[in-house]
Amino acid sequence: MPYSTTFANDLLCGRTALITGGGSGIGLGIARAMVSVGASVVLVGRREEVVTAAAAELNGIISSLPSTTEAKAVGLAADVRKPATLEKVMASIEDDEQLPPLAVVVNGAAGNFLALAEDLSPNGFATVMGIDALGTFNVCSAALPLLRKGAEALGSPAVVINISATLHKPATWYQSHASAAKAAIDSLTRSLALEWGALGVRVVGIAPGPIAHTPGFAKLGGAAEGVYDAIAKVVPAGRIGQVTDIGHAALFLASGGAEWITGATLVVDGGAVLYSQPIMPRSVVASHARSVEAASRATGLPATKSRL
């Protein structure tokens, strides 16, 4: 069935988007959003059967669209930790005459699990850093030549969108490994944006908050009964995030409307990272402020002249 977005249905026509971790979760959600606005999509993941099935779903969406623009979805198996497999992916993209120029790369491959810092093994830490941080660098490096060609062919900058997180803003329990990896991705986003702007490539990031019905969130306890309602109570926006929220953010960042944005990581979390326990109930704030002001005047201390 058609995928609904708030964007024009030809937003990314004539462009190819490469999405790692695109077989499920946030990556697949971004892919659905992009094919819905005319993009061709290449999904990359370690399990061939997963990305092949996801590509078939996307081709179903494409066939249901009213647009006459020819687009396609392809699934390719590769490990982002292994540059040789990524070189094969880039060669496949370049050799496929049905694919338009590569204009978007989304780095969504990630690994995670809960672990006490004192129980975390060096191998466990290295695994997450390898998939998330090193994998992001490997994909960016391998894709750069095609992105430069795409930017030249289309007459507008290509864009890399690195999927980060809010785990390290400021810190998250039992996530020392993933927090370090995501912080590295944010830093890499800024560094590549600085260096690659002159090459015709923008580099930006998205830091999702808790996103419902994703494998990553389930690994962190998101499948527990009542957790969605509990999160909704503390998120300023009043609900847990959906995959479509991230998809729409990716569409904006990939569009010409974001052409002057580079080096920034967009936090898309409904304000969750801002949450903290209030120091007192809302109902007593005004009366407390008045009593403090009265006490200040009585003791001769400077008092604010606020109207409460």
Task: Tell me whether residue 305 is in a domain.
Answer: yes
- Please report whether residue 238 resides in a domain: yes
Instruction: Classify residue 170: in a domain, yes or no.
Output: yes
Q: How many alpha carbons fall within 13 Å on the CB side of residue 133?
A: 18
Instruction: Return all residues near 273 (Cβ < 8 A) that are at least 6 apart.
Output: 166, 169, 209, 267
Does residue 8 belong to any structural domain of this protein? Answer: no
Locate all alpha helices (DSSP H) within 226-281, ordered by sequence. Answer: 227-234, 243-254
Q: Specify whether 207 is located in the same domain as 291.
A: no
136: amino acid identity, one letter: T
- Indicate if 203 and 77 belong to the same structural domain: yes
180 with 68, same domain: the answer is yes
- 162 and 148, same structural domain? yes
Any domain includes 187: yes
Residue 2: inside a domain, yes or no? no
Classify residue 71: in a domain, yes or no: yes
- Are 261 and 288 contained in the same domain? no
Distances (CA, A) of 67 to 9, 18, 38, 278: 8, 21, 8, 50
Cβ-in-10-Å burial (0-12, 13-18, 19+) of 295 comes to exposed
pLDDT of residue 183: 98
Whether 167 and 232 map to the same domain: the answer is yes
Reading the chain (308 residues) residue by residue, the pLDDT tens digits are 456 778 999 999 999 999 999 999 999 999 999 999 999 999 999 999 999 999 999 999 999 998 657 899 999 999 999 999 999 999 999 999 999 999 999 999 999 999 999 999 999 999 999 999 999 999 999 999 999 999 999 999 999 999 999 999 989 999 999 999 999 999 999 999 999 999 999 999 999 999 999 998 888 876 667 889 999 998 999 999 999 999 999 999 999 999 999 999 999 999 999 987 777 787 877 887 788 778 877 876 565 565 55
How far apart CA 65 and CA 81 sit, in angstroms, is 35
- 194 and 60 together in one domain: yes
Domain span holding position 173: 16-274
Residues 154 and 123 grouped into a single domain: yes
CA atoms within 13 A on the CB side of 268: 23
123 and 230, same domain (yes or no): yes
**pLDDT at residue 301, rounded to an integer:** 58
- Provide the pairing of β-strand 73-77 with 158-163: unpaired
| 32 and 119 assigned to the same domain | yes
How many structural domains comprise the chain?
2
204 to 11, 76, 259: CA distances (angstroms): 18, 24, 11
| Domain match, 207 and 288 both | no
**One domain, residues 223 and 284:** no
Does residue 10 belong to any structural domain of this protein?
no
Output the pTM of the full model: 0.91
Q: What is the CATH number of the domain that holds 267?
A: 3.40.50.720
